[in-house]
Structure 1
């Protein structure tokens, strides 16, 4: 028992120091191990004779989508003081309640067969199972679950010399994943991630770096408003003097955090260089989230992230009188929040550029 507790604490400590990301398990297979402590409950002849003891299982999963998976578990509950043993074969349907979060509650229900040993005649029983718990995705390929299974063993099959068995098993589940629609990790929870605006591609045959398709005096690679009407007075980035352009910023954040990881320094250097090159423009850093969680919390988080990006640019030499920051939370979604892809697109930071 002490070894089990120490192992559980070590695993929990490992989990809590990891970055919190959300991973898409759609179409993935899982294989894992479960260990726990089986406790007979609701007194009857079986429960009064079988003392609490360890239980364990191996399980395989298939995730139909982000929220639902089917699990086949083969395990054993041993009650060593009485030598009673239950061999379990269970099929469980599982619902991940918050499919967009890396910490997610788990609800499940299933049926199975239980082979009873060393308690009267050897027999096979029909059993039902209910599950509650929480699961944490450490990586796209590994998760840790803290679960509680309630097992009801009936007397519908065989000749068990008692009424029924009720067993509660708190347990730790370790699961490894493989397969899936792609090998890419899904977007971090509440992260801000949008690819930087696509630049004009240079052809291997024709050098188009000097082209000015809309004839506004700004070359195409530097033109943020490439469809300006002929004759329109534009600023240095090719936009009408009273028009604003949007530059998407590719920065990712840990869930619930606003600190910027150093791995994004090179991208922020590029944004800073752009603003230094066009010193006559002003910029507002705008932060957005998806619609998961409370509006007030999302607005505060998006504001903190926008200000974090602003501070990073100021530290790189952009004058504070040229730059501002504001968080808008879930406002103005650019995609459907009803899908994972849509929520990912809505978690973004943009730089809105305008003339002074």
Structure 2
């Protein structure tokens, strides 16, 4: 009797779970959003029968100017959805070019994600949906049927910072089964980012897999550290637990990170099969990471043969009083005299850091320091930084 009761109870439980699953399925009404059409226009849908107004905000609409902690920047535009039958709202975009896009909905003033699209990405404290329009450079952002590298999260000891810290490392296809040694690219994030930024927002693993498979880039290890020295890991991944990420945290650009960067290099060269010399080290970064890259590469002027500044946040700072920031021109001259193979600067025409980068290039010109310069469309966005990585990585090693 007890066995029958238990069996009945379990069956009822399974039925209940099944009914809940079906109920969730029915509530979704099998809405497809986003729906990419053959001409690469996209339709977005949302079931919200009681809403008064719904907008979509995304990076494929005309940009608007917004105020940020870094100054006035380009922000995503907005467009209205139209309410149709059964309380389903719709918006159809124009034909979109190849790209990884992100978007959110604004329902009666409240910004939220698309419940019919489970693919999300975090940028600082904002979470948005994503989708890819294929073709062109966006093919490099896809996971294609090719050999794949590995992505690991390691913890390294930083004696200079007095803590163990988390780091993201990409190793190329075949690394685990070979005895070969590889060159290393140290790839640094911007303000508000962490060791997750380049691998998620930047699509680093997909880009490197595709470039290597196409023979456009040499197999290499890519090291993506956390540039926020008060954190041992990204929010929610370290000892500080779950907390809201901030755009700028204390000590982010005060010289501490740059002064202790060799802790990262020593860990990598002690734990991975690498070619541990200047000719096989590269360093690059976006925005704040470009600031860090510029200072690290000149503070250790005989360490990196390849340097990449992506929309670098090179500007005067009141807190830039540490030893790392002293004698900038003198250390740049040392870096120049030691020789390097590539000093690569890229920025968008409407980037709020454009003038600062122009001034920096003028200083390099006056010194006679050689560099390559790429000027793209657009502003201070991941859309540019992903492209910069696809152009920079093939130039290495």
Q: Which has the higher strand share?
A: 1
- Same-fold status (TM-score > 0.5): no
* Greater length-normalized contact order (CA 8 Å, ≥ 6 residues apart): 1
Q: Which has the higher helix share?
A: 2
| TM-score w.r.t. length of structure 1 | 0.31
The structure with the larger Rg is 1
| TM-score w.r.t. length of structure 2 | 0.28
